[in-house]
Amino acid sequence: MRIVQLANFYGPRSGGLRTALHHLGGGYAARGHEVVLVVPGPRAADERLAGGVRRVTLPAPRIPGTGGYRAVDPWRVRALLDVLRPDRLEVSDRLTLRGMGHWARRRGVPSVVIPHERLDRLLEQFLLPTGLAERAADWANARMAAAYDTVVCTTEFARLEFDRIGARNVARVPLGVDLRTFTPARHDRSLRRDLADGADALLVHCGRLSPEKHVERSIDTAAELHASGTRTRLVIAGDGPRREALERRARGLPVTFLGHVARRADVADLLASADVSLAPGPHETFGLAALEALASGTPVVVSARSALREIVRPGCGAAVPDRAPAFARAVHELLDTAEPTRRGAARTRAEEYPWRSAVDGMMAALRVT
C-alpha cells in the first residue's frame, strides 16, 4: 500500500514535526508499505531516507518572519498527488495545505489530518481576544474535520477544540520517543562540567526560539534562581526568529546559547547530562523535546496550560503556572530530590511512549492492516 505524507513547515531545523514524520513513515515502511513524504525545500529533490522512506522535495518560497520555513502551493501538491496516486493520505498541516482532504475524498482515498497546534491558542496569542479566537477556530476546525475521514489528536489537550464543536471523527494517537537514542546512558560528566561552567546545577531548554515557545520564561527562571543565590546555568539549544531578543534578555545572567544543534546524538548527550529541562510553552499539543528529556532521565518543568501536563507527572517533573517564580520553585524541588530517584522516574515515564505504539495507532487511523 502506498502511504503519502504531506507537510509544510518542514526543514532541517523543524524539530518535533520532522522527528514525528520520520518515525511514523519509517514505521509504516518497516511493516511493508511504500511511503512517500512530500515536503517543501529550496530546490526539487527525490531521495531515499534511512528507513526506506522516499522523500520528494518541492521548490517553495520562504515564509517571511518564520525563521526560514517554506510552504508549497497546494496546486503543486495536488498535481504531484495525481502522479503518486496514494492509497492513503496523511496530512500534517491544517493551514497551508487546505483542500487535501477534499482531493482525497473525490478520489476515494482514506485520509487523516494531524493538527500539530491548537488553532484557538494560536489565534489568541497573535491576533484575537479569547472568545473571538475560539469562534474563529471552531469555524475553521469544523470545515477541516468535515474534509478528512479522521482527525488525529496526540493528546486530550489537542482534542479539546474538536470536542467543543462535537466532531465525531477524532482519534487520539499519542506520539512516541526514540528510547534508544535518548537514554540516561548518555549522561556525560565531562560535558556537564563544561556546560555548567562552575554552577552546581545545569538546566536546559531545547527547542525553536519562536514566540509561541515562550523561551523568555526559561530565561526569567534562570534570573529567579540566580537572584536567590542558587548556582545554576541555563543552556538553550535551538535557533529561531527571537534569538537576538532573547540574548538581550539574558545579558548578565548565567545563560548560554548553543544555537541549532544539528546532530540528534548531540541533543541526546545534552539532555542526558542536564539536571532539569524546561518546557514553558503553553500551547504545546504534545512536546517531543520534553519527552526526549524524560527518556534521557532528565525531569521536566512544563506549563500547566499545555498538553505536557498530561505527560509530566509528579516525580518525573512538574506542571506549573506560567510564571517564572513557579518554574524556579519547581526546579528547587526537583534538585532537592535524590538524583537516582528523579532520573529513574523520568525514564520510566518515557518508556510508556514507544514509537511502535504511535505507529499502531496511526495505522488504525489510516485503516491500514
Average pLDDT of the residues of the chain = 95
Report the relative pairing of strands 111-113 and 45-48 from DSSP bridges.
Answer: unpaired
Q: What is the pLDDT of residue 15?
A: 76
Q: What is the pLDDT of residue 138?
A: 97
Query: What stretch(es) of the chain map to CATH 3.40.50.2000?
Result: 2-176+354-365, 184-350
Give tens-digit pLDDT for 98-109: 899 999 999 999
Task: In whole angstroms, give the CA distance from residue 110 to residue 333.
Answer: 48
Residue 201 pLDDT class (50, 70, 90 cuts)? very high
pTM (predicted TM-score) = 0.94
CATH number of 184-350: 3.40.50.2000
| Residues 288, 307 contacting (CB under 8 angstroms) | no
Task: In whole angstroms, give the CA distance from residue 201 to residue 192.
Answer: 9
C-alpha cell at 96: 497551508
Task: In whole angstroms, give the CA distance from residue 357 to residue 366.
Answer: 14
Give tens-digit pLDDT for 1-16: 999 999 998 977 777 8
For residue 112, the surrounding DSSP H or E stretch is strand 111-113
Beta bridge partners of 35: 3
Residue 323 has pLDDT above 80, yes or no: yes
Residue 329 has pLDDT above 90, yes or no: yes
Percent of the chain predicted with pLDDT > 70: 99
Task: In whole angstroms, give the CA distance from residue 287 to residue 308.
Answer: 6
Query: Residue 118: left if φ>0, alpha if ψ -120 to 50, beta else—which one?
Result: beta
Summarize the confidence of residues 313-336 as an average pLDDT: 97
Task: In whole angstroms, give the CA distance from residue 121 to residue 107.
Answer: 33
C-alpha cell at 72: 508549497
Residue 341 pLDDT class (50, 70, 90 cuts)? very high
Give the CATH number of domain 2-176+354-365; options: 1.50.40.10, 3.20.20.70, 3.40.50.10420, 3.40.50.2000.
3.40.50.2000
Residue 127 has pLDDT above 80, yes or no: no
Give tens-digit pLDDT for 28-77: 999 999 999 999 999 999 999 988 999 999 999 988 877 678 889 899 99
Beta-carbon contacts of 7 under 8 Å, excluding residues fewer than 6 positions away, are: 17, 21, 37, 38, 39, 91, 92, 93, 97
Concatenated DSSP letters of 177-230: B-TTTS-GGG--HHHHHHHHTT-SEEEEEES--SGGG-HHHHHHHHHHHHHTT-
